[in-house]
A and B are shown apart, each in its own frame.
Chain A
Amino acid sequence: MSAEPLGPRKVVGTPVARPHRTAAVQTYVPEIARGLGIVMSHFFTNTKEMVFGQRPDPSTESVEAGINTVSYPEQKRPYPARFRGMHRLTHREDDSPRCVACLCCSTACPAQCIHIEAGEYPEGDPRRGYERFPKRFVIDELRCIFCGYCVEACPCDAIRMDTGIHAAPYDSREQFIFEKDLLMSFTGRDGSTLTQNPRHEPADTTYPGVTREKGH
């Protein structure tokens, strides 16, 4: 390695011309006026579009290039088709929960956020012996990590995450504890509540009616 010569180093590269500051720039006044002009033009454009309903809806129409304001929560960005939102419990045709309280979701849940207490149908109920139901079904949405394992694990299509609602910023922890009634009140993004996996058991309208006495 050769020794570097002593003394100041030679500057390499292309010299850049310093900006020429005119009086207009130095006084700031025209620039401020220009900036205000941009702000006001956006303000009037937005106001006009809002008043006349001309704004593109980001959830349905493609948004313009550049910076676009989404007026959340009135407007939302479109979610992907398989977006995992808040859970819901599907219904049977008689609006009872499809869930049979097998605890598969609770077993699969890595966050252990699902709590279920199973109940038995009373004596005389046509579903007694064939099904059981969740006396309590609680999901702690704060603990939930939205992995979707519960949906995968469910053998009955009873739990889904297709509500399109994402975790909401509530103001207390209790509000994140979703009970059965709340979970059953949600619909899918297509507005459906029914399960896609009916069991055809007694008390279902699709039950074939085969019994011990009455054969095939």
Chain B
Amino acid sequence: MPSFKLDDAEIPFEPGDTIIRAAERVGVDIPHYCWHPGLSVAANCRMCLVEIEPPPGRPAMMLDVLEWDAEKHDYVPQKKPKLQPACQFAAADGLVVKNQSSAHAARARSAVQELLLLNHPVDCPICDQAGECRLQDYWLEHQGTKKRMRDEPIHKPKAVVFGPTIVYDAERCIVCTRCVRFCEEVAKDPVLSVRERGNMTEIVVSPGRQLDHPYTLMTEYVCPVGALTAIDFRFKARVWFLRSVRSVCVGCATGCNSFTDYDPRSQNVHRYRPRHNAAVNQYWMCDEGMLDYRRIHEQRVLIAQVDGEPIAREAALARAADLFAAAPPETTAVVLSAEHSLEDNFALLELARDGLKTQNIYFSGRAPGEGDNVLRDADKNPNTSGVRKLAPQAKPFAELARAAEEGKLTHVLALGSQAPSDASALAKIKHLVAISTHEGPFEEHAEIVLPAASWAEAEGTFVNRQGMTQESERAVTPRGDSRPAFRWVHELRLALDRPPAWKKLGELRAAMQPPALPTGARP
């Protein structure tokens, strides 16, 4: 593999790489604002300037400059090397690049920082980007000087509403055009553009339009400063209070990799951030998925119910165990859920096989929605492939509804909250026990409701539409009386006196691994 030298390190690169991309691959950070690995190169922020040594035997390209000499009290002619933007300069074999070791590059970066902050309002206390802002980080790393300009800075529009999700502050904007490029290249909706010149530049929405394509929150995500802020997250939290876990978006079958940011003090999830996975979502997520964290807190089932009345969870469990202890296997059914993780479904499937001895396996999930060919899938369930692989014999929800309508089912244990189609037939089932996270048809028609922990409150494995098995970590503790669905199944089996072979999540996963897990590259 060809390689070049960056400071003291030897950096391998693939043909077509720029210096910054090759460095990023091996985890070396060259400071940058406008460059983003998922977007085209603009090379307009000039933060990634590096010094490139001339080829052996060739003179360096030097520029004539005037330097201020404090002793002579005059400008004196000097020479300095022509610096190159690392984001645009193609890597070549044997190249010698000076990044941190170049005093010229360090000076240039300091000057770029000073220019970017010249008209910046420095309103970090009220800026939502504070704490994860490149301007703050790079000021500390590359500038560290006070503002020298004594003038009132240029004033530009503030708190401009770009659309239903995004607010724009032109004074904080460094016009890196990441958002413009994102809309054009990834979202395929070139609704943003740059207006005016010099220090009056600002980002504007096309006349007569709003920033309302399905990927608007990514413009906020790519913004390296606080110019674009999400209305949903605006003023809600300070990022330094938040902790992150690696999660998988459960909004659709794509299974975008994400970070779940939550406040450990209040145990509230505040946002999702996309997590890079070249095979699934690259760097992006859709608005629907980004805002899906709200479902963790909204319309949840948090207390066990019997006939619609809240009840202690032990009592509800005892009632459910009584029901299924005497259930005839022919009219007993189990409903798996594509909304839930493999662990939950596997535990339930095992209960059906070993505990209830029934062959009636169905599966349900959320109704299909809108999809596109960027990221969003029409299947709004995170684990359809997983359930299909786990239980190929499982019949779809429509057949469950038909069987219920015909009165063939008396005892049904259902996982999940939503039904893909009309679920009024569920009312005909004599004894329906639902393990549900959210309010929905199952919770509505169930005789006994056991509150299940949501995806953010339990570890889980999901199989996306590509057949990739992905793990999602637990962010917060289960709310209310809820607990992971596989835990409910475990307790139910103990109460039925048919205990499973596993006790802990690790043992459950080990039990599930060989037969149930589809093969597929892990990210």
Tell me whether A210 is interfacial, beta carbon within 8 Å: yes
Q: With the chains together, A18 CA to B265 CA distance in Å?
A: 70
User: Are A112 and B265 touching (Cβ within 8 A)?
Assistant: yes
Residues from chain B with a CB closer than 8 A to the CB of A102 are: 124-126, 130, 238
Contacts of A123 in B (CB 8 A): 161
B126: chain A residues within 8 A (beta carbon)? 100-102, 130-132
Stretch at the interface among B66-74, B148-156, B296-304: B148-156
Chain B's closest residue to A103 (CB) is B238
A211 interfacial by beta-carbon distance below 8 Å: yes
Contact A210 B152 (CB under 8 A): yes
Q: Does residue A107 face the partner (Cβ distance < 8 Å to B)?
A: yes
CB distance from B119 to the nearest CB of A (A): 11
Q: Whole-angstrom distance between the alpha carbons of A163 and B235 in the complex?
A: 29
CB-nearest residue of chain B to A125:
B159
A155 touches B125 (CB 8 A): yes
Contact B125 A156 (CB under 8 A): yes
Across the interface, B155 reaches (CB within 8 A) one of A101, A104, A210, namely A210
Interface residue SS majority, chain A: loop
B contact residues around A129 at 8 Å (CB): 157-159, 169
8 Å CB interface, A191-216 against B: 208, 210-212, 216
What residue of chain A has the Cβ atom nearest to residue B240's Cβ?
A107
Chain B: minimal CB distance from A206 (Å) = 12
Report whether B238 and A211 are in contact in the complex, using a CB–CB cutoff of 8 Å: no
Distance in angstroms from B507 CB to nearest chain A CB is 38
Complex-state Cα separation, A112 to B234, whole angstroms? 22
Residues of chain A within 8 A of B124, CB atoms compared: 102
Docked-complex contact A104 and B125, CB < 8 angstroms: yes
Of B125, B157, B169, B238, the residue contacting A212 (CB under 8 A) is B157
CA distance A103 to B159 in the complex (A): 20
* A155 CB contacts on chain B under 8 angstroms: 125
B115 within 8 A of A: no
Q: Which residues of the partner chain B approach A30 to less than 8 Å between Cβ atoms?
A: none
A165 at the interface (CB under 8 A from B): no
Chain B positions 446-468 with a Cβ under 8 Å from a chain A Cβ:
none
Is A93 at the interface (CB under 8 A from chain B)? Answer: no
Q: Which residue of A lies closest to B196 (CB)?
A: A212
Mark interface residues in B121-143 (1 if CB within 8 Å of A CB, else 0): 10111100010000000000000
Give the interface centre of B123, B151, B156, B161 by most chain A CB atoms within 10 Å. B123
| Interface size classification for chain A | 20 to 34
Q: Which residues of the other chain, B, contact A132 by a CB distance below 8 angstroms?
A: 126, 235
CB distance from B265 to the nearest CB of A (A): 7
> Contact: B125 with A120, CB < 8 Å?
no
Residues of A within 8 A of B61 (CB): none
* A118 proximal to B (CB < 8 A): yes
Indicate if A119 sits at the interface (CB-CB under 8 A).
Answer: yes
A128 at the interface (CB under 8 A from B): yes
Contact with B along A100-124 (1 / 0, CB 8 A): 1111100100001000001110010
Whether A107 contacts B241 by the Cβ 8 Å rule is yes
Does B200 make an interface contact (CB < 8 A)?
yes
Is A130 a contact of B265 with CB atoms below 8 Å? no
Task: Please give the distance in Å from B520's CB to the nearest CB on chain A.
Answer: 43
Q: Which of B125, B156, B236 has the most CB of A within 10 A?
A: B125
- In Å, the complex CA distance between A78 and B437 comes to 60
Give 1 or 0 for each of B235-261: 1 = CB within 8 Å of chain A CB: 110101100000000000000000000
Distance in angstroms from B198 CB to nearest chain A CB is 13
Q: Say how far B129's CB is from chain A's closest CB, in angstroms.
A: 13
- Nearest-Cβ distance from residue B334 to partner chain A, whole angstroms: 45
Taking CB atoms, residues of chain B closer than 8 Å to A216 are 151-152
Contacts of A107 in B (CB 8 A): 238, 240-241
Bound-state CA distance A182–B123 (Å) is 27
Q: Which residues on B sit within 8 Å (CB–CB) of A131? A: 126
- Report yes or no: B241 in contact with A212, Cβ–Cβ below 8 A: no
Extra 5 A-B pairs, beta carbons < 8 Å, given A107-B241, A123-B161: A119-B235, A129-B158, A129-B169, A130-B121, A216-B152
- 30 A-B pairs within 8 Å (CB atoms) are namely A100-B125, A101-B126, A101-B235, A102-B124, A102-B125, A102-B126, A102-B130, A102-B238, A104-B125, A107-B238, A107-B241, A112-B265, A119-B235, A120-B159, A120-B234, A123-B161, A128-B159, A129-B157, A129-B169, A130-B123, A130-B126, A130-B158, A210-B152, A210-B155, A211-B155, A212-B154, A212-B155, A212-B157, A212-B200, A216-B151
- Interface positions of B (Cβ within 8 A of A): 121, 123-126, 130, 151-152, 154-159, 161, 169, 200, 234-236, 238, 240-241, 265
In the A-B complex, the 10 residue pairs with the smallest Cβ-Cβ separation, listed nearest first, are: A129-B158, A129-B159, A102-B125, A118-B235, A210-B152, A132-B126, A103-B238, A100-B126, A128-B159, A155-B125
